[in-house]
Amino acid sequence: MTETFSIRSIGLIGAGVIGAGWAARFALAGHDVRLYDPDPETGRKVAAVLDNARRAQTRMLGALLPREGTVHIATSLADAVADADFIQESLPEIETLKIRVLGEIEAAARPDAVIASSTSGLLPSRLQAAMAHPGRFVVGHPFNPVYLLPLVEICGGDATTAQTKALATALYTACGMQPLQVRVEIDGFIADRLLEALWREALWLVNDGVATTAEIDDAIRYGAGLRWSFMGTFLTYRLAGGEAGMRHFLAQFGPALKLPWTKLVACELTDELTDRVAQQSDDQAAGIGLRAYEQKRDDCLVDVMTALRANDFAAGATLGAYADRLAAQAAAAAGPVSAGPVSVIDGAPVLLATRVDAGWIDYNGHMTEWAYLKVFGDTTDVLLAQIGAGADYVAGGHSFYTVESHLRHLGQARLGEALRVTTQVLGADARRLHVFHTMTGGDGGVIATAEHMLVHVDAAAERAAPMLPAVADAVAALAAAQAGLARPDAAGRSIGLPARQA
């Protein structure tokens, strides 16, 4: 059995919403994938999902994203799985189909490859029963969109080895996901039993004409759904119990279990109900197309997870841990200073490349003031990481503080516009670092500049202190390398009206 870190190539079978989502999740985490689906439209559909995923993950993780893996559309099932270290099956939820294709996968794959199934709720013991090497089979059940939602349920069957579960868990975790171990094998696992219960009641409400699909969605998203994005049902109800907690909540709302508040039977999905749900769903969508809604969904998911990251809670903690690992990997791969810049403009290296985020737009429709300073500040952070003054250095009690900044706005940036920031070191002494950033927009024109004076500090004492020798050396090397660059005209400039008015 391969070790986690040796997983290089991944084979994917099935390229529906889930399979294509896996392709995007793995590729954006740096893995090469080979994907097979008999649908002749597979290439186009996967490209569309990958575009969405790249856009969303870039908004979320920006320059931290690793070099993207390749996505190869395989010509056959064997072409997809023959050389794979890890295989993920995302076929329709038909047990006989899955069992048959698992046999085909085993026939074509290496005997040590792990084979995972995306099934929403079929039992792994049944799916693996006919396999030659059932120990390497495990369920890894993800949620749509797979490239953003962290949850993946891990469930083994009777024959699944602990090693298989550990390897799948490690791979998913390394891709920024949050594995949940389903300890008891049960139809629907944990999440889909809960979702299915809610979904069955929702269908009844539509069936009985109590509410429309839009009204039911509103009943969730303006209320409990907001809580569910970071707390589940039990912690929420614990807090609803007030000072007396969960026991009080159960005493108070336990009697509601006896009330006729759910149908407690499954709804018959008649043609008439199907028509009604489909029609109401069309009305609810109000003519907004799939791609537009997917981007809206992804924007909201990215912003919600980013908001939770600031709280270091729930999916935000998962995202933060993933970002930290990516940053550490990038730092380890790059090493100090020696790593060449992405590119160079007028002799100065491009330290940051990003796009204008929707959250940075002001009421004029332009990138707002503070967002410029955020991008310039992020650029300063890249520079500090390059001179060996990144997260580890800060953790050691040393840091650079910005004491003075001078920004000039020479143009506008619009939503989605590509920004690049170059950095020139204007000077330095034992305690100070004087830098000049230049931001160019999509057309290559300069839209803003920032001049900063940074002071090196002993963070515990909160006072200026000399840089540690390695950092001082890196600063000196960088300053020497840039000594030939022309000093920007705007450096050292001050603000004022012409003399007659000021």
Per-residue binding letters, 387-426, with a copy of itself (x by CB under 8 A): ----x--x----x-xxxxxxxxxx-x-------------x
Q: Which stretch binds a copy of itself (CB under 8 A): 3-11, 29-37, 125-133, 192-200?
A: 192-200
Our finding on whether 182 is near a copy of itself (CB under 8 A) is: yes
DSSP state of 241: T
In whole angstroms, how close is the CB of 345 to a copy of itself at the nearest point?
A: 22
The answer for residues whose C-beta is within 8 angstroms of residue 349's C-beta and 6 or more apart is 340, 341, 342, 343, 422, 423
Q: Rg of the chain's alpha carbons, rounded to an integer?
A: 27
Determine which residue in the list 81, 116, 428, 471 makes contact with a copy of itself, applying CB under 8 A.
Answer: 428
How many residues belong to the site for a copy of itself (CB under 8 A)? 168
464 backbone dihedrals φ, ψ, rounded to 5°: -60, 145
The torsion region of residue 365 among left (phi > 0), alpha (psi -120 to 50) and beta comes to left
Our finding on whether 353 is near a copy of itself (CB under 8 A) is: no
| Residue with Cβ nearer a copy of itself (159 or 205) | 205
Determine which residue in the list 347, 396, 445, 492 makes contact with a copy of itself, applying CB under 8 A.
Answer: 492
Report the alpha-carbon distance of residue 12 to residue 89 in Å, rounded. Answer: 6
Determine which residue in the list 5, 132, 162, 184 makes contact with a copy of itself, applying CB under 8 A.
Answer: 184
145: preceding bond cis by omega (within 30 degrees): yes
Determine which residue in the list 280, 325, 415, 468 makes contact with a copy of itself, applying CB under 8 A.
Answer: 280
Which residues, 72 to 111, sit near a copy of itself by CB under 8 A? 92-93
Determine which residue in the list 70, 75, 76, 274 makes contact with a copy of itself, applying CB under 8 A.
Answer: 274
Which residues, 140 to 169, sit near a copy of itself by CB under 8 A? 143-144, 149-151, 153
Q: How many CB atoms lie within 10 A of CB 411?
A: 13
Which residues, 203 to 262, sit near a copy of itself by CB under 8 A? 203, 205, 208-211, 213-243, 245-247, 250, 252-262
Q: Is 96 exposed, middle or buried (0-12, 13-18, 19+ CB in 10 A)?
A: exposed
Which residues, 449 to 468, sit near a copy of itself by CB under 8 A? 451-453, 459, 462
Q: C-alpha angle 443/452/426, rounded to 5°?
A: 85
Q: C-alpha angle 33/34/37, rounded to 5°?
A: 130
Per-residue binding letters, 14-53, with a copy of itself (x by CB under 8 A): --xx---------------------------x--------
The answer for residues whose C-beta is within 8 angstroms of residue 197's C-beta and 6 or more apart is 262
Our finding on whether 296 is near a copy of itself (CB under 8 A) is: yes
Q: N- to C-terminal Cα distance for the chain?
A: 76
